[in-house]
A and B are shown apart, each in its own frame.
Chain A
Amino acid sequence: MTPALHVEDISLRLPDCALCDIGLDVAPGECLCVMGPTGAGKTVLVEIIAGIRRPDRGQVWLDGHNVTRLPAWARGIAYVPQDAVLFPHLSVEGNIAYGLLERPLPPERVSARVAEAAEAVGVAHLLHRNPCTLSDDEAQRVALARALVLDAGLVLLDEPFAAVDERNRERLSVRVRDLQRQRGAAVMYVSHSLEEATAVGDRICVLDAGRVAQIATPDELLRRPCCEFVATFTGARNLVQGVVLGVNGQRDFIAGSLRIPVVADHYGPARLMVRPEDIRLLPAGSAARTSPLLAGRVKRVSGSGALVRLEVTTAEVDWVVLLTPRELKAMDWGVAEGAAVAVDLPREALQVIPAEHSGSVGNSARPGSV
């Protein structure tokens, strides 16, 4: 199937930011979230696809057509900029209808589509207001309606809900994703929030200093980050610095006295990552079954909401473990601060990441871990 958007080796050098050989695809009906630290080039990438900026190198293809040389107005993309950018001389209704008035549509059809788009993002009651009187949240919703009303094959959303409060952000973003999926439109969604990205995105693209670090499904990104940067950016805990050694195909991750059999396709310096929710706690002295057990002690228990956070100290590493209150309650043998436990690291949860040369990244290993 021809991708709705195909970006091929896009490069652009600007004074404060540079994109280097960016390549990605977005299928019709798919939502690709773009994440990255400030200055990674997310907005610049979106502006290149929208036609607002021209790349130094590379090509942009829409539905199989090369649009790199086409001006923004001829691309047929719906674009929602980061800061709403509403036309101050037009009413909210005039703003939403702006793009439709460029098309040969009868006025009653324009009004109906404006009303429909305004209803979808909850601004139907604001249609006759002046944009200057709107709150940031309302202005962003109007900008979203202005883009959605175009019914474009590709929608570019640059942090469309940055000014919306946390509670409504996820609800609105999922609603927009569902709307676009119904219409079969591809969505490129720039976000700062991992929660939002995992809720909305079919896949997530992580940018690091103008390069694509990884493109993967949310689950794959969280469980199988390709590098230290992605692991730390996606909030991974339990990153242990060590080395992968092995003979006869058997590979072990070694950090001080910690030696764990792992599946890895390389040797040498590496980091071991275990997601906090994958670690199991067993009563001290439990017999090992398939995965190694580490003797430890619960150092701290905190949180009482959806997840309880436990810090467990073993000989080499401090592990962070996340349990649901129900899981904690099921441990009737007693998990409390100071309790001795056995830490079970399931083999399938162990992820070995090749070490990068760029210094240290945040981890829970104590100083001295090899």
Chain B
Amino acid sequence: MTLPAGLENGTRSTPAARPSSTERVFAATVLSALLVELLFVVAVIGALILFTDPASLAKAVASPTARSAIWLTLATVTISSTLAVVLAVPVAYGLVYWRIPCRAVVDTVIDLPIVMPPIAAGLALLLLFGYYLGDMMRPLGLYLPYTRVGIVLAQFFGTMTFAVRTAKTAFEGVGVRLPAVAGSLGSPPWRVFRRVILPLSRPGLTAGAVLTWARCIGLFGPVVMFCGVTQNRTEVLSTSIYLQNSVGQLEVAAAGTLILVTLALLTLLLLKKLGVRAPLWQ
């Protein structure tokens, strides 16, 4: 009598013992993709680090122009991201907890700036606050294009949708059941927000605020179109890199880039420290 294949020695071969060729190809694909991704990131950052020697970095950071750009960046980014988050929380609350007529349309309009090309956003800002409202606002001392206040406005426009989306994700995580039950126990909406929604969404909102800040710091398109790059006046880190590179100061540009990368890394570490697993792509 002939035994079926695999049972000749009285033992049955298990499927796990011999992975099929498809399984091997699948595992190899995953591993290759992982390696390519890791190597690419490490290579790009490595090139930046290799190019920037500590002496030129220190010199670049110490220069009055660079220091002005760093401080202006930190100040404008902090103001604009704070404004974006402060506005985003009530907007996201309304989108999640209110019955808004034509919700899909409202949602799409609010999402528009995030898909708008950054340069186009800058041009649109320039048209609104320069071409249409400029003459009206100039006598009031509120002419915004090519000013530091304009930088805040451009950064705010570039990140407000992002802030709304992160806040919305945080509120959606809380859901509608808990607030509904809190309401049935006698809490009016503001008290429900303060006692239930806010405590439960705090990790998500914090992550959203940190990510908004990080996104704001690297914003280039709207800022360069709306405010230009004037040394010691409207030069922030992201536009400074472009300006220094275009005038041949590659080492200064690389130093600025390294500072931005370090800030991004610190943001990631802060998020991990906060224990927040926020979806970074939103």
A residues whose Cβ falls under 8 Å from a Cβ of B: 50-52, 71-79, 81, 83, 85, 87-89, 98-99, 102-103, 146-147, 150
Contact = CB atoms under 8 A, between A and B. Distances in A.
Contacts of B182: 87, 98
15 contacts: A52-B180, A71-B189, A73-B189, A73-B192, A79-B181, A79-B185, A81-B177, A85-B177, A87-B200, A98-B185, A98-B195, A99-B185, A99-B187, A102-B185, A102-B191
A76 to B, nearest CB: 7
Contact of B186 (A83, A89, A103): A103
Contact of B185 (A71, A83, A89, A146): A146
A72 B183 contact: yes
A83 B196 CA distance: 18
A98 B186 CA distance: 9
B188 interface: yes
A324 B233 CA distance: 97
Interface in B180-211: 180-189, 191-192, 195-196, 199-200
A73 B181 contact: no
Given A87-B196, A89-B199, A102-B191, A81 B181 contact: yes
B276 interface: no
Contacts of B196: 87, 89
B184 A72 contact: yes
A87 B200 CA distance: 9
Main secondary structure of the interface of B (DSSP, over half): helix
A52 B185 contact: no
B186 A85 contact: no
Nearest to B177: A85
Contact of B200 (A71, A76, A89, A102): A89
Given A73-B188, A87-B196, A89-B200, A51 B183 contact: yes
A73 B181 CA distance: 9
Using C-beta atoms within 8 Å of the partner chain, give the interface range for chain B: 10 to 19
A77 B184 contact: yes
B184 to A, nearest CB: 4
A88 B200 contact: yes
A50 B185 CA distance: 10
B49 interface: no
A73 to B, nearest CB: 5
A73 B177 contact: no
Nearest to B198: A89
B200 A73 contact: no
Contacts of B180: 52, 72
B187 A73 contact: yes
A150 B186 CA distance: 9
B60 to A, nearest CB: 47
A79 B182 CA distance: 10
Interface of B: 177-178, 180-189, 191-192, 195-196, 199-200
A79 B199 contact: no
Contact of A85 (B181, B191, B195): B181
8 closest cross-chain pairs (CB), A and B: A99-B185, A79-B184, A72-B183, A102-B186, A73-B183, A85-B181, A72-B184, A89-B199
Contacts of B188: 71, 73-74
A146 B182 CA distance: 11
Contacts of B178: 85, 87
Given A87-B196, A102-B191, A150 B181 contact: no
Given A51-B183, A52-B183, A81-B177, 5 more contacts: A73-B183, A75-B184, A79-B181, A89-B196, A146-B185
A78 B200 CA distance: 23
Contacts of A77: 184
A297 to B, nearest CB: 57
A186 to B, nearest CB: 16
Contact of A50 (B184, B191, B199): B184
Nearest to A53: B180
B196 to A, nearest CB: 6
A145 to B, nearest CB: 12
Given A85-B177, A85-B178, A73 B184 contact: yes
Contacts of A81: 177, 181
B152 to A, nearest CB: 35
A78 B188 CA distance: 15
A19 to B, nearest CB: 18
A52 to B, nearest CB: 5
A82 to B, nearest CB: 10
Contact of A102 (B181, B187, B189, B199): B187
Contacts of B186: 73, 76, 99, 102-103, 150
A79 B183 CA distance: 10
Nearest to B191: A102
A79 B186 CA distance: 10
A51 B183 CA distance: 9
A87 B198 CA distance: 12
Contacts of A99: 185-187
A121 to B, nearest CB: 16
